[in-house]
């Protein structure tokens, strides 16, 4: 069973502390929602876990193996798949080839096995109909779907999602929620950063709220959303909307 353990992660950008002693553990088949105002350090946390950024202090452990010193590509091959908040498609490759790169590199698959994994990732994200289009021609929402497809094609045991639900219509969001629930049910550990709180609470087992790089609340979603610290941080904006929705 895969377990992700984050212990004492710390990272600064110049004088700005963007990750301040962040610790938590996440088991296979469980989903963690991450909320917090813009600039709180949510994406930074994902970057620290995926290896895109190195921490000044703290460790990331996957299945008991310390991966803090491992590169991002190595962590991906070890099972950490991620999406990017601002999509980064391989623009000259087709949608199918984008997923194929991930299946071949991150998933370590060849030929038919890779084709199958890439094709399944497209089916799962509703991109099958654009399989042979250049990824550079996709509109923003489909680029976000492609981020998810690529992450899935690597065959992850830990899936990191960074605001992939923004801009979706309610029916589209419904599909995404069901997809993530399915993935969690299949045994993936999922971390999902999202402002759309009503979507999160449907999926996640626990919620973590970040503000200025610090964990200000972590636990049962309803308890986190009800806590005074979290309400103060939001000053009644986005989160209220989410709860109301």
Partner 1 sequence: MTAVVVTRAGTAGRVGLSAAGLLALLLAAAPYLVTSDITHTLVDLFVFVVIATMWNLLAGYGGLVSVGQQAYLGAGAYAVIALSVHGGINAFLAVPLAALAAGLLAVPLSFLAFRLHGGYFAIGTWVLAEVVKLVTAQIGPLGKGSGASLTTVSGYDPDIRVAYTYWLALAVAAGSVTAVYLLIRTRTGLQLTAIRDDGIAAEAAGVRVRRAKRLVYLIAGTGTGAAGAIVCLNTLTVQPESVFSVQWSAYMIFMVVVGGIGTIEGPIVGALLFFGLQQALSAQGPVYLIILGAVGVAVVLLAPRGLWGSTVGRTSISVFPVGHTLR
Ligand X SMILES: Nc1ncnc2c1ncn2[C@@H]1O[C@H](COP(=O)(O)OP(=O)(O)O)[C@@H](O)[C@H]1O
Residues of this chain that bind partner 1 (CB under 8 A): 50-52, 71-73, 76-77, 82, 84, 88-94, 96-98, 100-102, 104-108, 110, 112, 114-116, 118-119, 122, 131-132, 150, 153-154
Query: Which residue lies nearer to partner 1 by CB, 102 or 183?
Result: 102
Instruction: Please give the biggest Cα pair distance in the chain.
Output: 54
DSSP character at residue 137: G
Cβ at position 238, least distance to partner 1 in Å: 27
Tell me: does residue 41 bind ligand X (CB under 6 A).
yes
For the chain, helix, strand, coil in percent to 5 are: 45, 25, 30
**Inter-CA distances, 23 with 32, 46, 58, 101, 147, Å:** 13, 13, 9, 32, 26
Cβ at position 211, least distance to Mg ion in Å: 13
Which one of residues 39, 131, 133, 231 is an interface residue with ligand X (CB under 6 A)?
Answer: 39
Choices 39-47, 100-108, 113-121, 232-240 (CB under 6 A): range interacting with ligand X? 39-47
Residues 70/138, Cβ–Cβ less than 8 Å: no
Tell me: does residue 85 bind Mg ion (CB under 5 A).
yes
Cβ at position 151, least distance to ligand X in Å: 17
Choices 21-29, 32-40, 74-82, 98-106 (CB under 6 A): range interacting with ligand X? 32-40
- Please state the length of the chain: 245
DSSP character at residue 135: G
Return the number of other C-beta atoms located less than 10 Å from residue 241's C-beta.
Answer: 14
Tell me: does residue 43 bind Mg ion (CB under 5 A).
yes
Rounded Cα distance, 197 and 234, in Å: 12
């Amino acid at each position: 069973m895969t377990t992700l353990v984050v212990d004492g992660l710390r990272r600064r950008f110049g004088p700005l502390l963007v990750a301040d002693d962040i610790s938590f553990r996440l088991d296979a088949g469980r989903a963690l929602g991450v909320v917090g105002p813009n600039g709180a350090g949510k994406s930074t946390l994902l970057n620290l876990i995926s290896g895109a950024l190195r921490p000044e202090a703290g460790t990331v452990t996957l299945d008991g193996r310390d991966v803090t010193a491992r590169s991002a590509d190595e962590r991906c091959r070890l099972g950490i798949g991620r999406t990017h908040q601002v999509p980064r498609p391989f623009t000259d490759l087709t949608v199918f080839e984008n997923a194929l790169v991930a299946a071949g590199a991150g998933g370590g698959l060849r030929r038919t096995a890779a084709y199958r994994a890439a094709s399944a990732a497209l089916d799962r994200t509703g991109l099958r109909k654009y399989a042979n289009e250049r990824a550079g021609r996709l509109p923003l929402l489909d680029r976000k779907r492609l981020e998810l497809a690529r992450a899935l094609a690597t065959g992850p045991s830990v899936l990191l999602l960074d605001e992939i639900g923004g801009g979706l219509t309610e029916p589209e969001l419904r599909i995404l929620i069901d997809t993530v629930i399915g993935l969690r049910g299949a045994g993936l550990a999922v971390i999902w950063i999202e402002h759309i709180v009503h979507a999160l609470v449907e999926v996640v087992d626990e919620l973590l709220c970040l503000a200025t790089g610090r964990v200000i609340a972590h636990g049962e979603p309803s308890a986190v959303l009800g806590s005074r610290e979290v309400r103060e941080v939001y000053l009644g904006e986005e989160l209220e909307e989410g709860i109301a929705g």
